[in-house]
Amino acid sequence: MQKFKAEFDNSADLCIKYINVENISCAVITLAGMVNKDTVAISVVNPIIDASVKGETPLEKFNYIKDYIISAVDQTQVCTYEDAFNMIMSGFALFAVDGCDSMVSLGVQGFPIRAVSEPSSELMQRGSREGLVESVNINMTLIRKRLKSPKLKFEVINLGKTSQTAVCLCYMTNKVSKDILEKIKENLSKVNLDMVIEAGYLVPYLEDGGDFSLFSSVGMTERPDTICGKISEGRVAILIDGTPNALIVPYLFVEYFQHLDDYSMHTYFATFTRWLKYLAFFMSTLLPGLYVGISTFNPEILPGPILNKIALAVSTTPFSLMTETIFIHLIYEIMREAGLRIPRPLGHAVSIVGALVIGETAVSSGLIGGPTLMVVALTAISSYVIPNLYEPISILKFIFIIVGGLLGIWGIMIIFTAVLVNISSKKSYGIPFTSPIAPFKFFAMRDILTRCGWSFLSKKNIKVQDLPGSEVK
Amino acid sequence: MEKRPCISTGQIFSMLFISKIVISMTYGSLLIGDSDIWDHLVSVPISFLLTFLIVWPIYKLFSMDKKMNIMDNIYNLIGKWGMALIFAYIIYYLVICFHTLAVFNNFISNAVNPPISITFLTFILIICSCYGAYKGLEALARTSSFILISTVFSVVFLGVSLFSGVEVINFTPLMYNGSESVKEGVIYMISQSPCIVALAVLLPMGKGNKKRGIIIWNFLVYLLFAMIIVLIIGSMGDFVYTQLFPVYTAAGIGKFGSFRHLDSLYLGVWISGIFLKLSLFFILASEGIKKVFGEKVKKISIVVFGVMMASVSCFPGFFGILKTSVTTWVLFYFLIFLSLVVPSVLIFIKFFKLKRRNNIED
C-alpha cells in the first residue's frame, strides 16, 4: 500500500479500503470515478466482510476469497506493480491480501462514458445511426455485434509511455495478411510518444514508407459498420481508447471516394454519386487554378459571354485575378476555421458576417469580382463532397492558383502530373496506393468506375492483399 | 541481389506510347525539311515493318537471358571495355532528353508564345521531371496509366472533332513528286523512336508477354501516325505546309458540338507526355550510371542530369537545334547503332561464348 501511496503521491482520487478478515489485513484499491461504487460494494467489499474465510496462510485465504467470495466476473491475477497500475488506471479494482505477492484485478469499471450516437462527420442517409464512442471496449462490442464470427480478433496493446493508452488491433484472422499485420505491429512498436491522446497521433507511425505525400494511406472512420466492411476485405482497424475514430490500414486512394451509403442506394444512383465525387475532387482541386490560369493566359478558350463577364469584373477590381482568388480563399479558410472552433451559438454570427462581408459588401464595393466569388463557392462546396480529402485539397488548390497565375495551364499541367507521380509512388503496406486503377485490375472496376449490383459484387471477395501490384501475400 | 522495379508489360508500353505521342503531336512538314507530309502515309507501313526489324536484336538478346538488360549484357560479355558502350547509351538517353526539351521550347515559343517566361517554365518542367525520375520507374509506370487514359480520350476527341472537317479534295495522289518525301518520312519516324533503345533497358523489368506488347505498341504508334496524317491533310489541305506545328493548329480549329479551341486539351496531354518522357529517359540514363558507378550514385545522377538540362536550356542557341535536319540523321544513326549494331554484336559474342563452353563440356 505504501508503494501505491508513494507512486500516486496521495492523489485525491486514490481510494484504499482496508478490511480485516480473520486477523489478516486486506485492501481494495480503486480510483474514484473510475469504478462503479455500487458494484464494488455489492460484489467485492460486502461479500468479503460477511464471509467466513477458510485457509491458514495468507495465500490460501487470498485464493479462497478470490475463488469463492468475490462475485465479480472479470478477474485477472496481477503479479507486478506495472500491471497493477495499468489495471487500476483502466477502471479496475485491485484486491490485495497482506502477505501475498500477487493481487487480483476486478472488472468493476464505472467511469462516465458518452452514449452511442450518430457520428457527426460521417452521416448516412440510410443505414445504422450508431457511431464509435470514446471507450474502446464499447467500440469492440459495436463491431462484434455486427460481425458474429469467431475469426474476428481484437488484440490490445498499450501505447504512450505516460498515457498507457489502450490501442486495439481489430482484424479477421482468416482474411488479414500476416505480412501486413506484422508490419503494423512493427510500426506501432516504434511509437515513442509520451502521450497518445488521439488517433491522429498514430497516423505518422502507420504511414508506410515515410516519403512526403499530401495524401494519407491511413484511413479514418467513426462508423463501426464501415470498419466491418473494411476488415472483411483483409484490412486492419485500429481502435484507440479515448477517441471515437478508428484508423484503417492499408488504405488506398480510391477508398476516399467510397462511402457506405453507396451500398444501400440503387446501383445506377450509387454509380452517379461516385462519379460526382470524382468530378468534385477535380473541381475542388483544379477549378480555381484553371480559372486564374485560363483567364490570365488563355482567355480564348472561354466562350465569349463568360469571357466578357470576367473581363468586366477584373477591370473593376483593384487586384489581379490571382491575388483576388488567393485572398478570397484565405478569407474562406479563416471563416471555416472560425466556424469550427467558436462556440456553437456564435456559429450563426460567423455565417451572417461571412455572407454579408464577402458575399455582399466585397462584391458591391468592387473589391472582389462576382465570377471569382462564384468559383470560390463552387470549389468550397465541391470539397465538402469528399470531406476526408479536405486537407490535401485545401493545400493543392492554393498551389494550383499560384502556379496558374504565374505559368498558366502549362504550369498547372506540369504540377498536376507531379502530384500524380507523388500519388502513384505511394504504397500502403506493400500495396500501390493507386491500385486497382494503376496497376489495373478490370474485375475491381465493379466498385470503382461503377457500383455494380450485389449479385455481382458478392461473386468474389477481393482481399486487399490480392490487388494488383501487391508485394504482400 | 539488387531489387529491380517490376512493372507490367502494359505499363512499359503505355510509357513508350506516350513518349512517342509527344513527338507525333509536334510532327510537321517544316521540321522535316519541307517534306510532303501526305507522302508520309507510305512511310508509315515501311517504318512499321522497319521498327520490327530494328527491335528484333534487342528482343533476341533479352530472350537469351530474361533477367539482364543491355547494360548487364555489355558488362558481362565485354567487361570493363564495355563501359564505353554503356556511356554511349547514357549519352543517347540524355540526347533524347535535350531533344525533347528543345521540342518543348520550340513549340511553346513558336506555336503558343505565352506571356510567361519560357525559361522559368522549362526550369519547372525539369525540376518536376527530376522529381518523377527520383520517385522511380514504378511510380512513373503507374502515372503513365492515368496519362494514357486522358491521352486516349483526348486523341479520340480531337480525331472525332477533326473528322467532320475532312474534305476528300485535299487528298492528292501519293508520291506525285517522287519518293524523296517517303524516304524522309521513314528516316524521321525511325529517328524519333528512342523508345526502341529504351526497350533495351526496360524489357527485363516487365512482367507479361513482351512479344505481344511490342506488336500492339508498334501497331498503335503507326496507326496514330497514319490517323494524324489523314486528319491534318484532310481537314487543312495545303494550309498544313505553312504551319510549323500543324497538329496543334488542327486542334485549335477543331470543334465538337459546343466545344471549341481543343488546343488546350492538346496542350494538357502534350505537357504531361513531355514530363513523362523526360522522367523516363532520366531514369534510363541513371540505370547506366548505376551500372558504372554503383547504386549510391544513381539518385544523385538524376539531379546532375537536371542541372545539365537546366544549364543548357539557358543558352538561346539551344532552341534552334531542331531547325537543322542534321538532328534527324544524327538521331537515326545513333539509334541504329544502339538498337541494331550493339545488340547484334552482343548476340554474336554470347552465341560464340556459349558454343565454346559447350565444346569444352563435350
CATH of residue B25's domain is 1.20.1740.10
The parts of chain B modelled with pLDDT lower than 50 are 1
Q: For cell 527491335, name the residue.
A: B55
Q: What is the pLDDT of residue A453?
A: 86
Q: Is the dihedral of CA B136, B138, B143, B148 positive or negative?
A: positive
Tell me, what's the pLDDT at B1? 46
A83/A357: higher pLDDT: A83
Are residues B188 and B329 in contact, defined by beta-carbon separation less than 8 angstroms?
no
Owner of C-alpha cell 452514449: A115
| Percent of chain A whose predicted confidence (pLDDT) is above 90 | 41
Please determine, for residue A211, whether its predicted confidence score (pLDDT) is greater than 70: no
SS3 sequence of A128-144: CCCCCCCCHHHHHHHHH
Residue B352 lies in a domain: no
Nearest chain B residue to A420, by CA? B143
Q: Does a structural domain hold residue B79?
A: yes
Handedness of CA A463, A464, A467, A473 (dihedral sign): negative
Q: Based on the structure, what is the number of domains in chain B?
A: 1
Query: What's the rounded mean pLDDT across residues A444-471?
Result: 84
pLDDT at B30: 66
Of A407, A418, A439, the CB nearest to B121: A407
Greater pLDDT, B340 or A22: B340
The interface residues of chain A toward chain B in range 272-311, judged by CB-CB distance below 8 A, are: 294, 297-298, 300-301, 303
Q: Rounded to whole angstroms, how far apart are CA atoms A98 and A396?
A: 65
Residues A65-103: pLDDT tens digits?
Answer: 888 888 888 888 888 888 888 888 888 899 998 888 889
**Residue B270 domain-assigned?**
yes
- Supply the ipTM of this predicted assembly: 0.91
Whether B159 is in a domain gets the answer yes
The pLDDT value recorded for residue B79 is 84
pLDDT for the residue numbered B87? 94
Q: How far is CA A343 from CA A117, A338, B65, in A?
A: 21, 9, 70
Q: Which amino acid is at A98?
A: D
Q: Cβ B147–A420 below 8 Å, yes or no?
A: yes
- Domain holding B32, by residue range, is 15-347
Interval B71-123: pLDDT, tens: 999 998 888 888 999 999 999 999 999 888 888 888 888 777 777 888 889 99
List of chain A residues whose C-beta atoms are within 8 Å of the C-beta of residue B260: 303
Cβ <8 Å between B279 and A437:
no
Residue (of A246, A375, A278, A364) closest to A321 by Cα position: A375
Cell 482567355 sits on residue: A299
Is residue B161 within 8 A of residue B261, CB to CB? The reply is no
pLDDT in tens, A295-320: 988 887 788 888 898 888 888 888 89
Which uninterrupted H or E stretch holds A237?
strand A236-240
Mean pLDDT of chain A: 88
Indicate the residue type of A175: K
pLDDT in tens, A260-296: 888 888 999 999 999 999 999 999 999 999 999 999 8
Q: How far apart are CA A404 and CA A382, in angstroms?
A: 19
Contacts A416 to B, Cβ<8 Å: 272
Q: Which residues pair with A159 in a beta bridge?
A: A165
Residue A327 has pLDDT above 50, yes or no: yes
The tens digit of pLDDT for each residue in B258-312 reads 666 677 777 888 899 999 999 999 999 999 999 999 888 998 999 999 999 998 8
* Out of A410, A440, A468, closest to residue B121 by CB: A410
Structural domain includes residue B145: yes
Write down the pLDDT at residue B326.
Answer: 57
- Reported as a single tens digit per residue, the pLDDT across A141-191 is 999 999 989 999 999 999 998 888 999 999 999 999 999 999 999 999 999
pLDDT of A362: 79
For residue B276, give the chain A residue with the closest CA: A417
Answer yes or no: do B124 and A298 touch at CB < 8 A. Answer: no
Is residue B9, in this structure, part of any structural domain at all? no
* Secondary structure letter of residue A259 according to DSSP: -
The alpha-carbon gap from B28 to the nearest alpha carbon of chain A, in Å, equals 22
Residue B82 forms part of a structural domain: yes
Does residue B33 lie in a domain region? yes
Predicted TM-score (pTM) of this structure: 0.88
Residue type, A139: N
